[in-house]
Homo-oligomer: A and B are copies of this chain.
Amino acid sequence: MTISQQHVDAALDAACRVARQIGVPMNVAVLDNAAHLKAFVRMDGSLLGSIDIALGKARTAALFGMATEAVGEFCKPGGTSPGLDQTNGGLVVFAGGIPFHAPDGTFLGAVGVSGGAVSQDLQVAQAAAAAASSI
Contact = CB atoms under 8 A, between A and B. Distances in A.
Contact of A82 (B37, B53, B60, B93): B93
A30 B116 CA distance: 22
Given A41-B8, A48-B36, A53 B87 contact: yes
A21 interface: no
Contact of A90 (B81, B87, B94): B87
A38 to B, nearest CB: 5
Interface of A: 4-5, 8, 32, 34-44, 47-49, 51-53, 56, 60, 62-65, 72, 76-77, 80-94, 117-119
Contacts of A76: 82
9 contacts: A35-B48, A40-B40, A49-B60, A49-B87, A52-B87, A72-B83, A81-B94, A82-B94, A87-B92
Contact of A43 (B5, B43, B118): B5
A44 B118 contact: no
B4 A44 contact: yes
Given A38-B41, A39-B41, 5 more contacts: A37-B40, A47-B65, A52-B87, A53-B87, A77-B77
Given A82-B76, A118-B81, A42 B48 contact: no
